[in-house]
Amino acid sequence: MSQPDTITLENQYLRLVLSRHDGTIQRIENIPSGLHLIQTPAPGSPWRVELLGPDDTSLWVEEFTSFEATGAMGDQAITLRWQTAHGFVVEGRVALAADDPNARLSIAVVADAGVRIDKIECPILRGIGDLSDRADSCLVHPQGTGFLFRRPLDLFEPEPVRRQGLRYSPYPEGYNGSSLQFMTYYAEGQGGFYLAAHDPTLAMKWLNFFKSPVGYLESTFIHQNPDIQPGTGLDVPYPVLIGALFEGSWYEAAD
């Protein structure tokens, strides 16, 4: 059962725990392997929205005035809604089917007339640490022709140094960005997690995995609005998947 201040979605593969106060993802557990993606829940909004002003100046907004969550554990899905004072509303949905190792996150921004939405960064997963004390934690990322980062919690450094990790990795871009739409973080031989945009439209996006200023790892997806017009908002037409992996290798995520 969910605790009063949290919302839990769970099946035989995954357990996701969200805050009932602000919708942040506080816990992601790979149940068969016992691995936890988020080690220490960190404060902060689960999204950031970039607005464009009349002269194309940008403003990143992550504050909201109210939040509500609706849904029940029985249908394994929750609908989230954040109201802001900047003329837009963020609406999301997190679903976990009974027999699926992947949770699916959908997101949309509904804007008032005159508000121009450039991008939304969502989900923002904070507080990621080492997955295991018995095996190396590895990040496989499609930056350029592909990288494997061993123990990124120790390898990456907080900004403003150049070894922060992959803070902004654009897709589709196979040289200074991502050539594929997924990344994976796993403990060798134990299991891990699959993070991906299942987007057949190949839309512009960023796949990011880096060390935050507080010293933990952070993973985010940024979605570009293809039609930046006043009042059009942004309905991201594909889900972001957070999945459980069981082999502890990059081959499983690629498959």
Instruction: Tell which residue, 71, 50, 74, has the closest CA to residue 223.
Output: 50
Q: Tell whether the model's pLDDT for residue 2 goes beyond 60.
A: no
Contacts of 247 (CB under 8 A, 6+ apart): 189, 191
pTM of the model: 0.95
pLDDT in tens, 195-239: 999 999 999 999 999 999 989 999 999 999 999 999 999 999 999
Q: Tell whether the model's pLDDT for residue 176 goes beyond 90.
A: no
Confidence category of residue 73, pLDDT binned at 50, 70, 90: low
Confidence category of residue 22, pLDDT binned at 50, 70, 90: very high
CA distance 173 to 121: 18
Furthest C-alpha separation in the chain = 54
Confidence category of residue 72, pLDDT binned at 50, 70, 90: low
Q: Tell whether the model's pLDDT for residue 71 goes beyond 90.
A: no
